């Protein structure tokens, strides 16, 4: 029987939830804060159906799927119980794209787990202190490594950001977007637009592939030759790979119609002196400050749902969050707090709070 809520009409379920095992996982799925620009979400209804059919219970905050254009009724059809936010916060495992604010963490049960993506919220002293006081185990998906040592969750979002950046650029160049009404790609008798991408991260390579695939002339620059050699293997289309050199950079900036900057191998700051060399119609986007995937939340949810189904199924097989974390080194890389201790060195350093290596902590407990 599928649990229902008075605010949600009864529907015939597509997937019947199996009888829960004695130690089955119970997930509280939360929506984004209404006063932020965040739209991204972690699980589609179909993904929830795969989990509920495996005996995993899901209680979702009413209206949580609105940003990806899915109704509560659709989630209910896949075995999800629709509840108020406070009830979802009481689940043993709380799942949210955004880290929770201190007021919401206080509503969680002591010793519960929070699974989310990393953002600036976790660099607030008030949030960390309440996570520690409540002994909440907080895990950031984008810092975790897969069994193949890949940052699979981070890479998915980065790729969508990179491809979305080219979508933004084309819209900006178009007449409807306030541009001069030009196309990225060339047509017979006309040169294509020039796209300059600075950086070799996943998002930059995705942007390069998207731009080159659309027919633009693409230059990818970085300050490390070996990174450019590795990037060549990931470029599916002809892309010029060039080391950052002052004179070369200046020449490329002067002719670029689109400039996208991301993370370079070594620290690099775009010279302010080059601002006067930019075309008046150039489109500039810094992927460290802007996240185009916010405009593509359903794509994000669909892409993240695939590894998350495996993630939670493995958690169920290993009999809970703690057991999975203790036996999965890649998951340990994403831990921020555990058992009342701060285990993220970067956050500890930023907040001037003591932190401990989780591997040392686990070896001592054994």
Cβ(217)–Cβ(259) below 8 Å: no
Domains and CATH numbers, the chain: 26-150+296-365 (3.40.50.720), 158-294 (3.40.50.720)
DSSP annotation string for 245-313 = -HHHHHHHHHH-SEEEE---SS-----GGGGGGS-TT-EEEETTT--GGGG-HHHHHHHHHHHHHHHHH
Does 11 have pLDDT greater than 60? no
pTM of the model: 0.90
Neighbours of 259 (CB within 10 A): 23
Cβ(125)–Cβ(353) below 8 Å: yes
Does 364 have pLDDT greater than 90? no
Neighbours of 339 (CB within 10 A): 15
pLDDT band at 366; cut points 50, 70, 90? low
Cβ(144)–Cβ(118) below 8 Å: no
Up-side HSE of residue 9: CA atoms within 13 Å toward CB? 4
pLDDT band at 272; cut points 50, 70, 90? confident
Note the residue count of the chain.
Answer: 366
């Amino acid at each position: 029987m599928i649990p229902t809520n008075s605010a949600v009409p009864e529907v015939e379920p597509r997937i019947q939830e199996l009888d829960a095992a004695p130690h089955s996982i119970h997930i509280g799925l939360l929506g984004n804060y209404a006063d932020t620009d965040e739209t991204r979400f972690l699980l589609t209804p179909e993904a929830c159906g795969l989990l509920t059919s495996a005996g995993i219970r899901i209680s979702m905050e009413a209206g949580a799927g609105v940003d990806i254009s899915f109704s509560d009724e659709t989630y209910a059809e896949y075995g999800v119980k629709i509840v108020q936010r406070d009830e979802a916060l009481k689940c043993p495992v709380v799942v949210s794209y955004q880290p929770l604010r201190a007021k919401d963490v206080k509503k969680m049960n002591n010793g519960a787990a929070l699974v989310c993506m990393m953002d600036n919220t976790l660099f607030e002293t008030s949030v960390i202190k309440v996570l520690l006081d409540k002994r909440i185990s907080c895990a950031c998906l984008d810092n975790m490594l897969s069994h193949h040592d890949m940052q699979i969750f981070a890479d998915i979002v980065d790729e969508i950001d990179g491809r979305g950046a080219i979508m933004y650029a084309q819209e900006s160049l178009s007449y409807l977007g306030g541009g001069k009404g030009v196309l990225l790609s060339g047509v017979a008798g006309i040169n294509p637009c020039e796209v300059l991408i600075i950086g070799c991260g996943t998002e930059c390579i995705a942007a390069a592939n998207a731009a080159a695939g659309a027919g633009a002339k693409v230059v990818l620059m970085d300050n490390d030759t070996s990174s450019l050699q590795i990037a060549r293997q990931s470029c599916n289309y002809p892309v010029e790979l060039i080391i950052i050199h002052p004179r070369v950079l200046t020449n490329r900036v002067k002719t670029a119609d689109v400039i996208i900057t991301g993370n370079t191998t070594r620290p690099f700051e775009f010279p302010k002196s080059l601002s006067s060399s930019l075309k008046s119609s150039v489109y500039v986007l810094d992927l460290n400050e802007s996240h185009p995937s916010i405009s593509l939340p359903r794509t994000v949810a669909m892409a993240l749902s695939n590894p998350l189904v495996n993630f939670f199924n493995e958690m169920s097989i290993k009999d809970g969050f703690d057991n999975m974390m203790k036996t999965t080194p890649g998951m340990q890389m994403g831990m921020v707090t555990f058992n009342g201790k701060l285990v993220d060195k970067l956050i500890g350093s930023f907040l001037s709070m003591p932190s401990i290596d989780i591997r040392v902590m686990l070896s001592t407990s054994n």
